Amino acid sequence: MQTNAGYGWDNGQVNQCPYAYFSAGESQNPCTWCGEPFNTTAPGAARADACQVDYGYTRDAAAGVMPCLRGSYKDVLGASACSQVGRRSASNAGARRTMGSWQGGGM
């Protein structure tokens, strides 16, 4: 039995690909992980181009993808730039907003 797009095999069952995974379907393979630091906007992604730069990261011409620098954040998926935190706020490098709360990044 082959899967539909956005679904993959997991422990002998067909399941919808979770966030950060995708599958074109038409196979008996598991969903493919987008890799760090990429994510999808919804579960059930069917193509690799659904994997976008994750919250708290931005594209950089020299480094490829890098975490937002200390004092900045990014709370959307995609290649947009990190935004500066206001003067009275503080931020850890790689800070991102996830499910309505802030999570500090490493570094």
Query: Which pLDDT score is estimated for 36?
Result: 94
Instruction: Compute the distance between CA of residue 34 and CA of residue 2 in angstroms, rounded to an integer.
Output: 21
Cβ–Cβ under 8 Å, residues 77 and 52: yes
Counting as low any pLDDT under 70, the low residues of the chain are 87-107
pLDDT of amino acid 96? 57
Instruction: Please tell me the predicted confidence (pLDDT) of residue 61.
Output: 80
Going 91 to 92 to 94 to 100, the CA torsion angle's sign is negative
